[in-house]
């Protein structure tokens, strides 16, 4: 049953969105200072952080980035030109394309992720507290 939200729930949701936007703005400025776009960093992060391995296929990255495959192909191409990723034929299916980080991509992902880790620690309980404030 959908019960109406009370004022405190609106406040909690508003604060959540504010904190989320602050984090995203922090990330946008940070990646720009490192010479890449936020979307390029997200690609590096998803490749490096793909569960169970150090690479990902285009379709998997499209899902993780919530983007269309053709958009991810373009993003991978831009990152490839910057020397951050490389494409390799699929190990099991040669038609598939694996995306791997280069040494420079690894270095950049690590550097930016270290800053993100500290910012997430500062946010700490904001995301945990939201669940307890909602009915």
Average pLDDT, the chain: 91
Q: Is the pTM of this model over 0.85?
A: yes
The percent of residues above 90 in pLDDT, for the chain, comes to 70
E strand or H helix at 110, and its extent?
helix 103-123
Among residues 42, 54, 33, 65, the alpha carbon closest in space to that of 100 is found at 54
The structural domains of the chain, with segments of one domain joined by +, span: 7-132
Q: What local confidence, expressed as pLDDT, does residue 79 receive? A: 98
Query: Which tens digits make up the pLDDT trace of 3-61?
Result: 898 998 899 889 889 989 999 999 999 999 999 999 999 999 999 999 999 999 999 99
Q: What local confidence, expressed as pLDDT, does residue 121 receive? A: 83
7-132 topology per CATH: Arc Repressor Mutant, subunit A (1.10.10)
């Amino acid at each position: 049953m959908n019960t109406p939200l009370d004022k405190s729930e609106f406040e909690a949701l508003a604060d959540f969105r504010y904190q989320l936007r602050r984090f995203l703005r922090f990330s946008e400025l940070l990646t720009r200072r490192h010479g890449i776009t936020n979307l390029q960093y997200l690609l590096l992060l998803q490749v490096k952080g793909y569960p169970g391995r150090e690479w990902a296929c285009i379709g998997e990255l499209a899902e993780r980035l919530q983007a269309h495959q053709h958009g991810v192909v373009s993003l991978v191409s831009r990152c490839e030109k910057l020397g951050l990723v490389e494409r390799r034929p699929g190990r099991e299916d040669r038609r598939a394309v694996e995306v791997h980080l280069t040494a420079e991509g690894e270095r950049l992902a690590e550097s930016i992720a270290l800053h993100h880790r500290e910012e997430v620690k500062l946010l700490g309980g904001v995301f945990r507290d939201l669940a307890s404030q909602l009915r």
